[in-house]
């Protein structure tokens, strides 16, 4: 039975929600983050259980796994732009940091599950829709490549060391704690930023491009299911709502949630932008009994209210 869990990136968007839910389930959490940062009042308890440290520091990683039953590895360098400007920094964080955690987990006699939070960025341009876990992998950025490489190491540790690993590939995560610079919640943050200052959303291209937006609470739900499900060991799961939403539809939902009467403004299409993307989540439904609960309209209304109050 899993009782004590290490969450890396515990003060980030996903890690903070996950840590809060684990604590509320009366389990013990150790957080690891390279910042101690009071993001909001409701994160006081997360700060208290978080150790300031870097996953690239082997000494720190090896020193915090006493009696830890599971590791959920959320920490990552997530900026596509930064990964292209400084691929070495990206690789050190996303590849070397992951290897450090995997090695420490194998050395530990207590770790029963290792959850690796990957990314839909490893797919690149879609060849078929919806995108299943068997879709060809062709990352288009150093970030996507580093997450792909991390997956390969995770799978190797499952195959060779029998470390019970699970890979989760989130699509476009959003929440009120989203980093506006994140490539996944970026368009939502931009749209809400515009309506917040009484300006219309700006759409790059024709707005027909599609994405799969999933609330962070549903990503947490999948992680918690994967922690306990014995059959999940060694598996890879897409994490999305399983439905495409066009950028035009997204803009309409944000405008409606704001209660204002804007019409989107269109600009030129962004170079290299993926046109269509959404997840096939049948495997997660069948094996984990996963079911997304937060409707996009509800999640965005919460986000708009939070940012405009």
CATH of the domain at 57: 3.40.50.720
Q: What is the pLDDT of residue 41?
A: 53
Per residue in 91-101, is it b (16+ CB within 10 Å) or e — as a string? Answer: bbbbbbbbbbb
Give the structural domain span for 20.
4-172+213-239
Same domain, 109 and 47: yes
Between helix 186-196 and helix 247-258 the angle, nearest 10°, is 40
Q: What is the pLDDT of residue 293?
A: 97
Are the beta carbons of 72 and 112 closer than 8 angstroms? no
Per residue in 200-226, is it b (16+ CB within 10 Å) or e — as a string? Answer: bbebbeebebbbbbbbbebbbbbbbbb
Distance linking the first and last C-alpha atoms of the chain: 42
Q: What is the pLDDT of residue 42?
A: 64
Same domain, 224 and 125: yes
Q: What is the pLDDT of residue 185?
A: 54
Same domain, 182 and 296: yes
Same domain, 23 and 167: yes
Same domain, 110 and 207: no
Nearest to 45 by CA among 61, 31, 59, 64: 31
Q: What is the pLDDT of residue 178?
A: 77
Same domain, 140 and 88: yes
Residue ranges of the chain with per-residue pLDDT less than 50: none
Same domain, 27 and 148: yes
Nearest to 98 by CA among 43, 163, 39, 40: 163
Same domain, 224 and 260: no
Nearest to 90 by CA among 35, 146, 34: 146
Q: Say which CATH number the domain at 272 has.
A: 3.90.25.10
Is residue 184 classed exposed, middle or buried when 0-12, 13-18 and 19+ CB atoms within 10 A define those classes?
buried
Nearest to 28 by CA among 56, 64, 57: 64
Catalytic residue positions?
143
**pTM of the full predicted structure?**
0.93
Same domain, 40 and 154: yes
Domain count, the chain: 2
Q: What is the pLDDT of residue 182?
A: 58
> Mind listing the pLDDT tens digit for each residue in 49-90?
999 999 999 999 999 999 999 999 999 877 777 777 888 988
Are the beta carbons of 127 and 135 closer than 8 angstroms? yes
Determine the Cα–Cα distance for residues 119 and 182; give it in Å rounded to an integer. 12
Same domain, 94 and 38: yes
Q: What is the pLDDT of residue 186?
A: 76
Q: What is the pLDDT of residue 205?
A: 94
Same domain, 201 and 293: yes
Same domain, 27 and 99: yes
Determine the Cα–Cα distance for residues 2 and 289; give it in Å rounded to an integer. 19
Query: Which H/E stretch holds residue 173?
Result: strand 172-174
The torsion angles phi and psi of 307, rounded to 5 degrees, stand at: -85, -15
Nearest to 191 by CA among 74, 308, 69: 308
């Amino acid at each position: 039975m899993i009782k004590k869990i290490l969450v890396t990136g515990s003060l980030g968007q996903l890690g903070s929600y996950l840590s809060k839910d684990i604590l509320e389930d009366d389990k013990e959490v150790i957080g690891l983050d390279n910042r101690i940062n009071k993001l909001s009042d409701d994160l006081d308890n997360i700060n208290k259980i978080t150790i300031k440290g870097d996953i690239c520091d082997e000494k720190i990683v090896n020193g915090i796994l006493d009696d830890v039953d599971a590791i959920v590895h959320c920490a990552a360098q997530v900026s596509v732009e930064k990964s292209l400007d400084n691929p070495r920094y990206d690789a050190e964080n996303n590849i070397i940091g992951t290897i450090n955690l995997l090695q420490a987990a194998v050395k530990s006699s207590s770790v029963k599950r290792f959850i690796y939070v990957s990314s839909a960025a490893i797919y690149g341009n879609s060849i078929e829709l919806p995108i299943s876990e068997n879709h060809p992998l062709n990352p288009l950025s150093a970030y996507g490549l580093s997450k792909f490489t991390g997956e390969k190491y995770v799978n190797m540790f499952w195959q060779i060391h029998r470390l019970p690993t699970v890979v989760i590939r989130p699509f476009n995560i959003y929440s009120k704690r989203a980093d506006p610079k994140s490539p996944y919640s970026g368009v939502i943050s931009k749209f809400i930023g515009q309506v917040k200052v009484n300006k219309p959303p700006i759409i790059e291209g024709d707005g027909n491009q599609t994405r799969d937006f999933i609330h962070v609470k549903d990503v947490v739900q999948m992680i918690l299911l994967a922690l306990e499900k014995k059959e999940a060991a060694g598996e890879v799961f897409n994490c999305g709502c399983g439905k495409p939403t066009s950028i035009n539809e997204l803009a309409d939902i944000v405008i409606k949630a704001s209660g204002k009467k804007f019409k989107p403004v269109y600009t030129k299409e962004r170079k290299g932008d993926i046109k269509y993307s959404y997840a096939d989540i049948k495997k997660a439904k069948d094996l984990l009994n996963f079911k997304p609960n937060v409707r996009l309209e509800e999640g965005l209304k919460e986000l708009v209210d939070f940012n405009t109050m």
